[in-house]
Amino acid sequence: MNFKIEEAIEILERTPKVLHALLGGLSLNWIDCHEGDGTWSPKEVLAHLIEGENEDWIKRLELCIEHGVNKPFKPFDRFSHLQYVNKKTMEELLNTFSELRYNNILRLNQLITSPKTLELKGRHPDFGTVTVKELLATWVSHDLNHIVQINRTMANRYRDDVGPWIEYLGIYR
């Protein structure tokens, strides 16, 4: 077990900056590319991260603290962001995500008042009992997971362009 709240927050506060650096001002061919039917473009992944800020992490943390295992988390809709993503520009989404994440880290710092808070429990609709520590470790891993997905999706555009070098590039395996 490696989780430490201070180190977790280091990643959470970097993700908006990483996505700004990677996606800000980028051509539509990169922003809207995907890996095939049913897969998400970088822009759609960002909208999914915004949904998480609005509907998932902090709401679930509050449920753990206020109700423990007595009130299960609302299932997270993994597809709701696809309804509005095309109405927003990448810059709008990047700014929205940054603002939401900034405020959610402030809220997180208010809610985690002692190491004991990390051991509080909640009820996941699929998994049953989970801990605050698992929820927060998942928040961090979910960020890193989707940064990986965005970069892998973009790289996939050049799968045929790299010629024989495909053999050396783990990202294409």
Binding site for a copy of itself (CB under 8 A): 1-4, 6-7, 10-11, 14, 17-18, 20-22, 25-27, 29-30, 124, 126-128, 130-131, 133-134, 137-138, 140-142, 144-145, 147-149, 151-152, 154-155, 157-158, 160-165, 168-172
Structure tokens at 155: 């790289």
Rank residues 1 and 87 by Cβ distance to a copy of itself and give the closer one: 1
Least distance (Å) between residue 44 CB and a copy of itself: 15
If we measure between CA atoms, which residue out of 92, 101, 98 comes closest to residue 31?
Answer: 92
Least distance (Å) between residue 167 CB and a copy of itself: 8
Question: CB neighbours of 21 closer than 8 A, spacing ≥ 6?
Answer: none
Cite the beta strand spans of the chain per DSSP E: 121-124, 128-131
Least distance (Å) between residue 66 CB and a copy of itself: 21
44 burial level (CB within 10 Å; 0-12, 13-18, 19+): buried
